Structure 1
Amino acid sequence: MKIMRPVGAVGIVASAALVLAACGSDPAASPSGSNSAAVPAASGSAQVDCGGKSPLSAEGSSAQKNAIDIFTLQYGKSCSGQKVNYNPSGSGAGVKQFNANQIDFGGSDSPVTGADAEAAAKRCASPAWNIPMVVGPVAVAYKLTGVDKLTLTAAVTAKIFNGGIKNWNDPAIKAVKGNESLTLPDKPIQVVSRSDESGTTDNFQKYLTAAAKGVWTQGAGKKFAGGVGNGAQGSNGVANAVKSADGAVTYVEGAFAKDGLTAAQIDSGSGGVALSAENVAKSLDSAKFLKDGTNDLALDLNAIYASNTPGAYPLLLTTYEIVCSKYADPNTSKAVKAFLNVAATDGQKPLADKGYVPIPSSLQEKVLAAVKAIT
């Protein structure tokens, strides 16, 4: 059964609520900044060929759990009776389960590359593709009594997370433009990181590697390599750990910088930039792909991380659905394609109300083309 579904406005529409939500919650994001910007909305219609396997099995990124819930709801509306079971176990677990052929598609906050991509291709007997579905910021979120606006550079952030800066009243923090008038307490900085393998950790460390060259020398990867502080499981875990400890700081999806946590502004060289959807959109203007001209849509974010675009918020992550370009079972392929078609169109519309940043229209066109090419 083929159902023609209209493609609605899925461009980034900026407001205070448009930041990437995270695992297991129903966040009402409250990032700094209230400017608005509009990206031309996609138009036309997407063809959804309903049917195939049900339920689909999927696992991975906790950051996209609420988005998957939205996508699944819209999928059921578009394709009556079709379901997806998603386990938000974390990006590392999702990639491992996908490569072990235990699930139909995986979810990850960073693209599958290198050895993981080779393992995925072996599982699929065809190349595996990274399909981006939600883009959003990562916050450097802190709790510090009396300090409700803090600006950090990449270099200072790197020193905090590798132990080079240990106290909040360190002169290096005070010297950042915008912090000169702050009264910073003589209080130890308590670093909280993800204890599980996480795409958020990978993106955060890639940002530090690109933007704080020579300062962050610990490298990237899904495991935190800073060597300081304490770990907590999942996005909820790190956010709750910081909330319970004055003087604590973490990196976490933007929607968690609320309810007692504050997102630091990031200064890439042109002054502090607040975490907001408009500022995320400015960073995406320079986005490129690791394999340009293919249907593997892994974004190359290094240029964004190291950029100094005025007013652009550079610390981003993208959640991907990891899929086979060719499935052995045509019923699985049919259902995966239908689900992803809905996720990239009707599924994008409700994301803003749940604190996510929908994919921009230019990216949506590439996503729909890649989904169509799955066999």
Structure 2
Amino acid sequence: MNRNSLRKAAPAAALVLAFGLSACGAANESDSGASTGGADQVSGTLNAGGSSAQEAAIAAWKKNFQTANPDATVNYDPVGSGGGREQFLAGGYVLAGSDAYLSDEELATAKETCKSDVVEVPVYVSPIAVVYNLKDVKELNLAPKTIGAIFEGKITSWDDAAIKADNPDATLPSTKITPVHRSDDSGTTKNFTDYLDQASDGGWSGGVIETWPIKGGEAAEGTSGVIAAVKSGEGTIGYADESQAGDLGQAKVKVGDEFTAATPEAAAKILDSSKTLEGRAATDIAIDVDRKSTASGVYPIVLASYQIACQTYDDKATADLVKAWLTYIASSDGQSAAGDSAGSAPLTSDFGTKVQAAIETISAA
């Protein structure tokens, strides 16, 4: 397996030099900070959708990209990762955003739809925060087993002994716990339950899933829906992209002997020990995240969110548009824009070079 590091962001100049400045691939600078995908501007309409976790980053990317390419329009519908992949596989979207990589079955379908390999690249790396609404409890520590038991419905009160054990100085009320989960097929759910499955030591028995399997609690659609539901109810707890947590409380998660907050820097560190899946094309950079790390300063509940495209399109205009879009969002400028707007962790120079190499292969049939 190849090891991919997503450490702290490298200087922008080094990243741009690493990419090179080829005609259609490398990220060119412009007054807006967006790549035009080469010396010439691109045009046309790019219809895409999927991950709602990427929504804030997409808004910044669209603004910069369309400013640099005034004849190009990017339409992105945050229908959730499952919906995005479904529409991409059916040919409804030319590109999808997803917080989970394609399954083996989906990959086979994608190759038939694309009539080529796929380009599946992580471009948005962000922590998934465990958000809560509990009056007068400003700080909260939770162990993985406790988090699993809360979301499975085994721990039902905020003054439970397991929660008290990790919060000896907090005044915990007897308020009922209301777990809030996604109602739609969600890559965020898949990443969250992957963490629970690996790290909760039996606290969670629901497996790794995109559709919530446990009855009870409260269901909400999309990241914004989860945030709204947690805000509206005392004693609620949920999981969502940290960039959209707002003023909700965020639990620190036990990693080794420490409790670590959900920050982009801590999220990026978990990928230092993660690996790419074996047996896939070089353009398919699917990451197997190490959720059991006990390293200091690491936050393990993280999503590596992907943009998924065909390696080959029927016409040159579509291929150029998709290629230019991906080139920009994976560039130092694009990653900086996502960090500023959504608090994500920028790709490093080495990893960014690998991502750009995959994007560079996109062409017309």
Fold equivalence (TM over 0.5): yes
Aligned residues: 336
106-115 or 279-288, larger mean C-alpha shift:
279-288
Indicate the residue corresponding to 1:103 in structure 2.
93
Indicate the residue corresponding to 1:268 in structure 2.
255
Indicate the residue corresponding to 1:25 in structure 2.
none
Indicate the residue corresponding to 2:135 in structure 1.
145
SS of corresponding position for 1:140: strand
Indicate the residue corresponding to 2:3 in structure 1.
none
How far is the alpha carbon of 1:38 from its aligned partner?
5.7
Report 1:230-269 matches (<5 A). Answer: 230-259=218-247, 261-269=248-256
Matched, 1:315 2:298: no
One-letter amino acid of the counterpart of residue 108, structure 1: S
Matched, 1:124 2:114: yes
Q: Distance in 2 between matches of 1:94 and 1:51?
A: 27
Gaps of 5+ in 1: 1-10, 13-36
Residues 177-204 of structure 1 deviation map (CA, whole Å, 9 limit, x = unaligned): xx11211111110111111111111110
Which residue among 154, 176, 200 is the counterpart of 1:164?
154
131-140 or 216-225, larger mean C-alpha shift:
216-225
How far is the alpha carbon of 1:132 from its aligned partner?
1.0
Indicate the residue corresponding to 1:198 in structure 2.
186
How far is the alpha carbon of 1:95 from its aligned partner?
0.6
SS of corresponding position for 1:83: strand
How far is the alpha carbon of 1:135 from its aligned partner?
0.2
Q: Distance in 2 between matches of 1:181 and 1:66?
A: 36
Residues 326-356 of structure 1 deviation map (CA, whole Å, 9 limit, x = unaligned): 2233321121111111111132222222133
Matched, 1:89 2:79: yes
SS of corresponding position for 1:285: helix
Does the 8 Å CA contact 1:132/1:318 hold for their aligned counterparts? Answer: yes
Which residue among 326, 330, 338 is the counterpart of 1:340?
326
Indicate the residue corresponding to 2:57 in structure 1.
67
With the length of structure 2 as denominator, give the TM-score of the two structures.
0.87
One-letter amino acid of the counterpart of residue 256, structure 2: G
Matched, 1:372 2:352: no
With the length of structure 1 as denominator, give the TM-score of the two structures.
0.85
Matched, 1:282 2:286: no
Indicate the residue corresponding to 1:18 in structure 2.
none
Gaps of 5+ in 2: 1-5, 21-25, 28-36
One-letter amino acid of the counterpart of residue 129, structure 1: V
How far is the alpha carbon of 1:51 from its aligned partner?
5.6
Does the 8 Å CA contact 1:52/1:332 hold for their aligned counterparts? Answer: no
Q: Distance in 2 between matches of 1:349 and 1:256?
A: 17
Report 1:289-304 matches (<5 A). Answer: 289-291=276-278, 294-301=282-289, 303=290
Residues 295-333 of structure 1 deviation map (CA, whole Å, 9 limit, x = unaligned): 2111111x2x11111111111002211111222333211
Does the 8 Å CA contact 1:51/1:335 hold for their aligned counterparts? Answer: no
Indicate the residue corresponding to 1:134 in structure 2.
124
One-letter amino acid of the counterpart of residue 90, structure 1: G
Q: Distance in 2 between matches of 1:298 and 1:164?
A: 33
SS of corresponding position for 1:191: strand
One-letter amino acid of the counterpart of residue 351, structure 1: A
SS of corresponding position for 2:194: helix
How far is the alpha carbon of 1:101 from its aligned partner?
0.4
Q: 1:113 to 1:371 in 2, by over 3 A?
A: same
Indicate the residue corresponding to 1:31 in structure 2.
none
How far is the alpha carbon of 1:84 from its aligned partner?
1.2
How far is the alpha carbon of 1:222 from its aligned partner?
1.2
One-letter amino acid of the counterpart of residue 249, structure 1: I
230-239 or 326-335, larger mean C-alpha shift:
326-335
Matched, 1:326 2:312: yes
